Amino acid sequence: MDINIASIKNYEGKSVPIDCAIALEGRPGDDFKIIGPVSVKGLIRNFGGTIELSAKGGAKLEMICDRCAGEFTEDVVFDISESFKENERFERGSENENPDIIYFSGDSIDLDEYVYSNLVVSLPGKHLCRDDCKGLCPMCGADLNNGECGCDTRPIDPRFDILDTI
Ligand SMILES: [Zn+2]
Ligand SMILES: [Zn+2]
């Protein structure tokens, strides 16, 4: 979604509120699926000539549990924070060059890419359907969240083996 910043980009201290829902496409290789529109609420403002985006994102994701391989959906809330500068004001190689700043030209900024990247970095490395997911039985593959399968999965203590053979 393009946000028009014509009214703020030349006026320090000015801001525009953002309150929208965007249709965000996932990327190949994502280990989650975005269900429905992603909400973005916050502010974009001109702070000393830098355009700063500060917002909260909200999305519904479909994921596969890393422990039990079950599908589940989760509502996630994440911070969106980016700084932009207009291309013309930037001289490459100058001391103002800052890798954290995104350069744009024109009167609008397309937020989709930045909403997506902020969503991805907010996700934990492991997806669990619930914190105490019991996972699958290593012997028969049963989903232990549905109850014990009856397999003996206690670690075998080698000392008992010796007793058995006496
Ligand atoms: Zn699970
Ligand atoms: Zn089992």
What pLDDT is stored for residue 152 in this prediction?
85
Cα of 135 from ligand 2 centre, angstroms: 11
Q: Is 145 helix (H, G, I), strand (E, B) or coil?
A: helix
- Distance between Cα 30 and ligand 2 center (Å): 31
Ligand 1 center–CA 143 separation, angstroms: 8
Check whether 163 has a pLDDT greater than 60: no
The model's pTM is 0.80
pLDDT value for 98: 74
Whole-number Å distance between alpha carbons of 53 and 15: 10
pLDDT digits (tens, 9 = 90+) for 99-133: 789 989 999 999 999 999 999 999 998 999 999 99
**40, 20 in Cβ contact below 8 A?**
yes
CA distance 1 to 51: 17
**Pairing outcome for strands 71-86 and 50-64:** antiparallel
Q: pLDDT tens for residues 13-68?
A: 999 999 999 999 889 999 999 999 999 999 999 999 999 999 999 999 999 999 99
**What pairing do the DSSP bridges indicate for beta strands 101-104 and 2-4?**
unpaired
Domain boundaries of the chain, sorted by first residue: 2-133, 134-166
From the list 38, 34, 32, the residue with the least C-alpha distance to 18 is: 38
